[in-house]
Structure 1
Amino acid sequence: MLDDLSNFQIRMETVLGSPRGPASTAPPRCPSASLNFVGREEEHKIIWNFFFGPEVQLDERRIFSIVGIGGCGKTQLARRFMKAVYRRFSDKRQAHLVFYIDGTTQATIEASLVSIAKANGLDESSEASLAWMSNLDTEFFMYIDNADDPTINMRGFFSNSDYVRVIITTRLSEKAHHYSQGDGSILILRSLSEEESIKLLAKTARLSEEAVVRDGSLIAMLLCYLPLAIAQAGACISKSGWTVHLYLEKFHSLRALLLDGRNDQVEATAIDDYPLHFYTTWKLSYDILPKRAQALLRLCSYLHHTGITEQLFHDAYRGISNEIFASPSILFSSHEQSAYVNARDFLNQFVRDEGWSTEDFAWCMREACSTSILSLEGTEHYSIHPLVHSCLHGVEKESTTTAFVLAASIISTGEVTWARLVNHMQHLLTYHSDTLSAMGNLANTLHELGRYNKAELMQREVLDKRQRGLGTDHPYTISAMGNLASTLHQLGLYDKAELMQREVLEKRQRGLGPDHPDTILAMGNLANTLRELGQYNRAELMEREVLENRQRGVGPDHPDTISALGNLASTLYKLGQYDKAELMLREMLEKGQRGLGSDHPYTILAMGNLASTLCELGRYNEAE
C-alpha cells in the first residue's frame, strides 16, 4: 500500500494582511436578579396575571414582551419574575420545564437550545429541542433575554405547542408586537419612580435613604430615573467614598466636558436615543477603577458580554506562551506583534513565580465588579450589561486584534472546546470584521497542527462571512472555500470536499485561467480527493494535466513538480499500472535526492512507495 501524498499536495490558501460544543448536563438556568433590585411590584403583577391569572386556560398559548431602552431594567424585572416561575414549577416537580435562552445572537440562541436538547437526552441540535418542546402536552415556560438583534426572527425559535408560555426582553418595540400573543401581551417598561430611584441609589451607595434624599433626587432626575445608571452612580459613591453632594458636583463637571465635545476619550454613541447622562455616570464609575481593572474591561468589551470566566484568561495565558505565538512560522506584522505584546503583558500581570495566580486575577475581577460595570453571575461567570459593553468601545482606541490574539491563544492550548469560545468569536466577527483574516490564518494553523475539527468550525465561520461580505466570486471567498475543502478532506469527508473543490476549480478557471498556479493547485487538490473516492481514471487525467503544467510553469526539478510526480504515481499504483508507477517513482526519488536531499519528506516517501511497487511486481530483493 502506498503512503498518501495528499498531505503534501493539498495546501492551504492563506490570506494575509486584511483583515459551537458540549453543553452542560442541565439546561441553562436564568441568572438571579440583582440583590439591589427595588420596586416594580405593579409590573410583576401584570406579568403574573398574564401567564397565570384565573382566566388563562392551560392550553392557551401565551407570549409576553417586556420592551424598553437599554438600562431601564427589563432583564432585572424578568429575572425577578422568573424566580417566582421557577418556584411555581418546582412545587409541581416540573422545574425541568422552565427554559432560559440567551437571545443576543443566532449563535447564543442555538447554543441554548442545544443545551436543552442535551439535558433531555435528544439529538444535540436546536431543531431536536424545538421539535420536542412542540410535542409537549403540559405547561412549560421559555425566557428569551436580550432579543435585540433586528435581523433575527425570534418566532422561528418559539415552540409550536399550545402549552408554551414565553417571556421576552427586547429594545425593539416593532418586533415585540410581532412576537407577542394575547391581550395585554406587551409591557413598555418606563423609568423608575422617584421614590424607587432614591431607594435604589441608597441601596447601591450603602447609605440610608435620609442621607441621599436631597441630592439623590437631583441625581435620579439627571439620570432620567434609569435603574442601570442609578445603580452605577450608587456603586461609584460607595467605591470612592464620596458624599452624594460631591458625586453630583463631579457629575456636572464631566457632563459639561462631554457636551462641549472636549473629552476625546468617550464617544457619545447613540443607542436607542439613550440620554448622554448615562455615559457620564458610566465614565465616572470607570475612572475610579485601578488601571489593571480598566484594561480588563477594555479587553472584555471585544468579547461577548456574557460567559466571561477566569478560566478563559488562564487558558489564554497558557496558550500565549505556546510556540505558535512565541515563535510563529509566519512572522507577525507590526500590527499583530503589537497586539501579541499587549495581550501577553496584560496576562503576565497575573503570574507569580509558581505560575498563574487565580487569587490575583480574582482580585482584579472584584475590582471591576466594585462599580457595577462587571457582574458575577452564579459562582464563576461574569457579564457586562450590553449598554455598558457598548460604552467600553469608546474608551481609549484599542485594536480588536489584541482581543483576537487573546481568544486565539486559548484555542492553541488544545484543551478548550469550541463551545467555550463560540459566542466570543461570534462577537468579534460580527462587530469587528478586521479580525476575519486573522481568524482564517489561525484556522489554517490549526489545520497544519492536525486539529481538523476546530479548524473546520472556524473555516465555516470565515467562509460564511466572506460570502456575505464580499460575494461568492471574490478571491478571498474562493480561498476560504478551498481551505475548508482541504480540512474536510483530512477529516475523511471526501464527498463534501469534492463538491467544494469542484466549485473552487471552476471559479479559478473562470477567473484566473487554466494555467494560473492557484488553478493548478485547485485541480491537484480535487484529484487527490477523487483518488480517495476510488475515481482513479478521473484522478489520473487531472494529475497528468497538473504535472504537465508544473513542468512547464516551474520546471522539472521544482518541489511542486516532484509532488505532482508522486501523486500521479500513487494513482497509477491504484490502477494496477505498476510498471508506469515504478518509472515515475524512480524519477521522483532521483530528483528528490539530487535537489532536496535524502532526508526530505518527498525523498523518503518516494523511496518507501517505490519499495511497495517493486513488491507488487514480485521484485522482493530489490524492494528489500
Structure 2
Amino acid sequence: MQQHLSQDNKARMVFVLHGLGGSGKTQIALKFLESCNEYTTQFFVNASSSEALNTSFMNIAISQGFGATPEAGFQWLISKNKEWILLYDNADNPNLNLQPFFPHCTHGNIIITSRNPQLAAYGPASHSQVGNLDEKNAALLLLARAVKENTDENHKLALGIVQELSCLPLAIVQAGAYVARFKNLVNYLSLYRQNRDELWQQHPGPRHDNYEWTIYTTWQISFERLSPVAAHFLQLCALLHHSNIPESIFAKATEWIVKKQRDEAESLQEAREFLQNFVSSAGCWQEQMLRNIVAEIEEYSLIERHELSNTLSIHPLVHLWCLGTLYDKLPAQRCMLDVLGMAIDLGPDGNLGRIALRAHVENLVPDLASISSQFWAQYGAIYYDGGNFERARRVYELKLKKQRGLFGDEHPDTLVAMANLARTYSELGRHSEAEQLKLSVLQQCRRLLGDEHPDTLLTMGNLASTYSELGRHSEAEQLELSVLQQRRKLLGDEHPDTLLAMGNLASTYSELGRHSEAEQLELSVLQQRRMLLGDEHPDTLLTMGNLASTYSELGRHSEAEQLKLSVLQQRRKLLGDEHPRTLLAMGNLASIYSELGRHSEAEQLQLSVLQQRRKLLGDEHPRTLLAMGNLASTYSELGRHSKAEQLELSVLQQRRKLLGDEHPDTLLAMGNLASTYSELGRHSESEQLELSVLQQRRKLLGDEHPDTLLAMGNLARTYSELGRHSEAEQLELSVLQQRRKLLGDEHPDTLLAMGNIDLTSHATREYQAPEISQHQGLSEHSQVLGAVRPDTSGYHTGPGGLGPCQG
C-alpha cells in the first residue's frame, strides 16, 4: 500500500484489499492510515450498501460545514486539491456498483476493503489478497490480546492455539479475548476443541476499529446472501478435504448421469437432483454453470478457485464452520458419496487422479456401509491406490460377493472382481489366498475363452507374479514362457504385449540368478521399444530402468548409472519433478549411488523423494514409508545409525498400524530395524526382532521361501555376534541345503551361504554383508509395484481390468 499510494504521479490511486471475512483487511487499512502523514484528511466510508455510502458522504459534508447532502460531500472532495484519502470499508455486496460513489476528479486516493476479489478490477496494478498471519506474529497477537507475557512457555502454548485456528486474525482476537477474560491459556486448546461452535459465537470484546462481528456472524452473513444452489454446493464441498478439490469431479459425475439410463441411477436421487444444476437445456454437461456457482461463492471469499490446477479450496476454519451449517448431514453425505463415485476413473490412466482423491475420500466416508453398492469398485480403487489395502480388501470382498450373487462365477464382471481382490490380497501379503483366486480366474478364462485369448494370457501372468511372491520362481518361469510363446505366435515379436511378456520373464530369470539371460531379453525389449516408440516413451524408459537393474546385479554399476540418469532426465523433462514415475527414477538412481559408495549423493535424492511423497501421498502411504526406509538405509551406510533407527521405528510403527504384524512389509521393517540394532551393538534387541521375523515367515511362507532363508541367515549372524557360533552354524547349514535344492550350486545366494558357513566354522565375527537384510528390498523394489525389478517393465491394466500384469 505504501509503495502504490505514495507515488507522486498527480493522479488518483486506488488500492484494494480483498480476502475472507475476519482476515484483517480493515485493520491493515487503519494501520496504514495511522502511520502515514502525507494524507492530511482521512474519511471512513461505510461501503456495505448504497444507503450507507450516501450517509457517509452526507456526514463528510456536515463535518466540513459544506452542506448536509451526499452531493455536497462529493463537491467538497472535488473542490479540495489538498491530499485526502477515503477508506471504503466492507464493500462486500457483489451487486453494488461503487463507481458512481467515487468523486469525479483526478486527485485524492481511495482504499477499498472487500471480501469480493472481483473488486481488484478497481486497482488492476494495486490490489492484494489478505491471507492468514504467519505463526510467529499470530502467536504475538494472541498473547497481546490475552494480556499475557511473551514467555517461552506462553509462546509455545500460543503457537498450538494459532495453528489450530489456521492463523486467522479474527479467530485469534476472539481466542485472546476469551483467554483474557477467563485466564485459561493453558487449557484453551482442549476447551476450544470441545466447544468450538459456542466459542466462535463469543464476542471479541471492545475493539479500536469497532469490528463487532464474531467469527460465526462474519461468515453467516455471507452465507445467507448465497443463492440456495451456491450454498448447497459449498456445503457439499465442505464434506471433502478443504484443499485441492478437483472441479472435474462435478464434470465427470454430470457426464455419468447424462449417459446412464434412469433405472441405473434411480437410487441416486439427491445426486441426480444436484447435478441437474450443471446440465444444459440440450441435456449435456455445461461448464459455465459450474463457473457461475463458484464465482458467486468467490464473491464472499468463502471459496477460492485455482486457475492453473482447476481446483477449489476452502479456508480450514470456514470448512469446519460450513460443516456446522449442515443440519441434516446424511442426505448431503449420501449425495456427495454418489457424486464422487460417479467421478472416479477406473481406467489404467486414472491412477494419479485416484491418488488425488484419497484425502477427500478419507474426509467423506464415515463407514463402508455408507457407500452405494454401485460404486464399490470405484472406492476400492481409491483405497488401493491410496495404500489403504485393508479397506480396499473389505470393499472388494463386498463387490465380489455381490457379483457372484447376481451373475455367478463365470461372468466377466465377477472375474474382474476376483482379480481385483486377488491383487489386494497380494498387497496384504496373503499370497496363498491370492493364488487361489487367480487360479480360479485362470481356469474360468481357459474354459470360456481358450488358452490363446488375451485375458487368459494376462491371468497367467498375474498368477506367475504370485508364484514369484511365494518364492516359486520355477513355476513362475513356466507360466511366463507359455505366455511369451503364445504372444509371439499370435501377435509377433514386436507387439507391446509380447515385449511385456519378455520383460516379465527377464524379471524371473533375475530372481533365479540367471542375469545374463535376463540381460539378453531386456536388450531385445529395449531395442524394439526404441524402434517402435522412441527414446522418450514411458515404456522405453521402463525398459531402460530394468536393464540398469540387471547391470547392477552383474556388477556393472557404471553402465547402470548412465541408464538411470537418462531415465531420470527424461522423466523430469516429460512429467515434472513431482510425478510418481520421476520419484521412482530418483529412488532407483539413489540405489546405484549407494552401490557405488556415493552415499551422500544417494541421501540428497532420497530426501527429495521422501519430501515429495509426504506432500503428495501423506505420511502413511506405503510409498512414503518405502522412501523413509530407503533413507534410513543410506543413513546406516553413512554411519548415522541413530538417525536410521528413528526412521525405521516410524516405518515399523506405521506398518504395524496399517498392515498388521504378519504382513511381509512389516516383517521387512522389523528386519531392517534389527540390522540397525546390530550396528549399534544392541544384539539382544536384534535377536528378539529377528526371531519374530523368522517365526512369522515360517508360518506364512514355509521353510523353503527365500525370505524365510534370508531371515535364518540374519539370525545366524546375530547368534555369531553374541558368541553362539554353534546355533549360527546350524541355521546356516539349513540355509545352504535349501538354497542348493532350490537354486543350484552356482546361484549367488547359494555361494553366499557357503561363504557364511566357512566364516562361522572359523568362529570369526566378519560376515558377508549381502546376507543381511540390511534394508533388503528398500531400494525401489517389489514393495512398490508388485515387481521384482527396481523399475517395472509394463503397466497395470487398472482396477477395471483383470488385475495387474506381473512386472
TM-score by length of 2: 0.31
**Greater fraction of residues in helix:** 2
Kindly name which structure, 1 or 2, has the bigger radius of gyration based on alpha carbons. Answer: 2
